[in-house]
Chain A
Amino acid sequence: MSRYLLGVVTQSLQGGSPAQRPIFNRAIECTRALLEFYMYARYKSHDDATLSYMEDALCRFDTFKDVFLHGRAGKKAKAKANALRTELVKKRKLDEESNAETWTPSKKRREMNAWRDYISHEIDVSKELDADFNFPKIHLMSHWVEQIRRYGALQQYSAERHEQAHKTNLKDSWNASNHNLNYLPQVITFQRGILCFEIRELNLQALAQRRENSAATCKVLPSGADLAAPLSSQSYVKPEFMGPQNRRDGMRPDTMIKDFRALLDNTQDATHRVTIYNGTREFLKHKSHNKTYISDEQLHAMELCIYHGIKVQVEGLDGERISQICRCTGSQSWRGGDRRNDWVCVKKRPGRCYGTLNGRLPWQLQQLFKI
């Protein structure tokens, strides 16, 4: 906008009577000086010459700015001018009435015109006398040259980015929240969540690079969540298993299966089948004391209960305890719609771990069962 302003002003103030011409020129010069100052201020680097141009532009702006003084008349100045106008109009009426008999029509017309010019001139003068340029922003410009000398070019301080953060930090997080009564913590933690995932991504990229180039050292970036995590593992409330939502006896399992293979047969996806199988074997190996290898036949003969949900107490990103309900319907539908398999973040090692997610990895629940 500022680039075209001068052109528009010059174009529209072309011509004019000899009396108007100097005023117009002053207005154009004033606009030019201010825009020049603005353009110089936007330079990415400065030296003494550009700073002296800036000072010069500001000085010129000051000499020519009086031409706009009329437009600076505030409410008070306008009210005063209006009072003056009513007073003058009263005077004109008195004058008209006292001379009504002596004036001829043409003389009357001349007198009235003279009065009109006089009143408008008086009001202009009054407005300009009361108007001033005393507002803070015009004064702030006088400090800019000194500030640039001390701290460098102004591009770095532009508040555009910070104003834009109102959108990314506030409005987006408000839209992402559930608009509930406790939306404030959600708004505040939203950006941190995104940040955590981005650092996690960087970590994974660095890890992948390390595998390619083993000589290069790789460091894993911690996040603020690491500090918040408690160092000692504390006891959690025992998780509660839950059956399907639509049944009254919610704590009872959905189905009892005597054969592990039947569960595997139920899942259509081959990769899911392998995941469940391997996971179960790992778990049993970890739990059993003798750590013997479990054969496929043993595993297939396991007796298990399938559930639809689990209520567990988990540790939030801030290290606080929260109760969460995870739902997993397996291959069945959830409330008459699509099937629901929640994503969970699993902590693989106890205590403080590396990484933004504090040692957690995201997984999708495929089946929920108790052996």
Chain B
Amino acid sequence: MTIGKLSSKLRQMPSTHSVVMVALLPIPIKNRNIPQKRLDDQRHTNREVLNEVLRRLLQPLTFKQNPSSESGYYNVLCADGNFRRCKPVLAAWLADCPEYSDLHHLERHVCFWCECPKNELGDYVPPDKQHPRRDHNLYRTLSDANTKAADAELSSRHVHRGFNVFRHIPCIVSDLPKPDLLHTMQIGMLDHLQKWIFHFMKTHERLDK
């Protein structure tokens, strides 16, 4: 966890203790060689466990525990010994793609910002023709409705059913993920590009040059 008012130069320095560990999340066992149905059940349980842990962690922020969080001010003891009125807001959550899918109750291999269909992910999107943004308030009401039509609607948007803690705290859930240079570019796209170039040169017999 870190706070948003730090300058990025200060935050990126390891010696400043700018990033504080808050909790250790449980890592479920990876079962690859089991039937699909059991795998789905297992994943469902994993999501529930993760959400329960996060719910306890973010309890002070949730609507239910703290009705004043709607207006949003707490008295917080600050580092200089004075109490101040603070409004903690969850602003960003950095993670890799699959982790976002788990956190936001989405299916794997979908975009967590917009409702882009899975088979159009590779297409170029002009800036003025973006897909509709994900609206987690809508997902919350659909998930609470618990009817067949709502479930069908959810699965058409590649969203899992169930309780998600982020939909119950004051934040814009689709704004939590931030573009991450490390995961998306350095070990994402550039890695892909290297593989493509390797393959390209192999097919055109240019590897030894």
Contact = CB atoms under 8 A, between A and B. Distances in A.
Interface of A: 1-2, 5, 9, 11-14, 16, 20, 23-24, 27, 31, 34, 38, 41-42, 55, 58-59, 62, 67-68, 70-72, 132-148, 151, 154-165, 168-170, 184, 187-188, 191, 194-195, 198, 219-222, 227, 354
7 contacts: A2-B186, A70-B199, A70-B203, A71-B196, A138-B122, A138-B189, A195-B17
A116 B140 CA distance: 58
B64 interface: no
Identify which of A16, A139, A161 gathers the most chain B CB atoms within 10 Å of its CB: A139
B159 interface: no
Contact of A140 (B95, B111, B193, B194): B111
A139 B14 CA distance: 31
User: A-side binding surface: helix, strand, loop or mixed?
Assistant: helix
Contacts of B18: 161
A143 B114 contact: yes
Given A219-B81, A227-B77, A159 B180 contact: yes
Contacts of A157: 92, 94, 178-181
A348 B118 CA distance: 65
A158 B209 contact: no
Interface in B120-156: 120-125, 127, 130
A279 to B, nearest CB: 31
Given A11-B209, A140-B111, A159-B183, 16 more contacts: A12-B201, A12-B207, A58-B124, A62-B124, A68-B199, A71-B195, A71-B196, A133-B123, A136-B97, A136-B110, A137-B189, A143-B114, A148-B179, A162-B19, A170-B24, A219-B81
Nearest to A190: B21
8 nearest A-B residue pairs (beta carbon): A133-B122, A71-B199, A62-B124, A156-B8, A68-B196, A137-B188, A157-B178, A169-B21
Chain B interface category by residue count: 35 or more
Contacts of B206: 12-13
Contacts of A142: 124-125, 130
B73 interface: no
A5 B65 CA distance: 53
A160 B189 CA distance: 16
A287 B99 CA distance: 61
A154 B204 contact: no
A26 B121 CA distance: 22
B130 to A, nearest CB: 7
B185 A41 contact: yes
Interface of B: 8, 11-12, 14, 17-21, 24, 77, 79-81, 92, 94-95, 97, 109-111, 113-114, 116, 118-125, 127, 130, 178-186, 188-190, 192-201, 203-204, 206-207, 209
Contact of A31 (B8, B120, B197): B197
Given A143-B179, A158-B12, A168-B14, A134 B119 contact: yes
A147 B178 contact: yes
A148 B97 CA distance: 19
Contact of A155 (B8, B95, B199): B8
A178 B109 CA distance: 41
Given A142-B124, A219-B81, A12 B182 contact: no
A68 B189 CA distance: 13
A34 B186 CA distance: 12
Nearest to B6: A156
B182 A137 contact: no
A67 B122 contact: no
Given A67-B200, A161-B18, A163-B182, A156 B11 contact: yes
A137 B8 contact: no
A53 B195 CA distance: 26
A158 to B, nearest CB: 5
Given A157-B92, A188-B21, A222-B77, A134 B12 contact: no
Contacts of B95: 159
Nearest to B118: A134
A62 B124 CA distance: 6
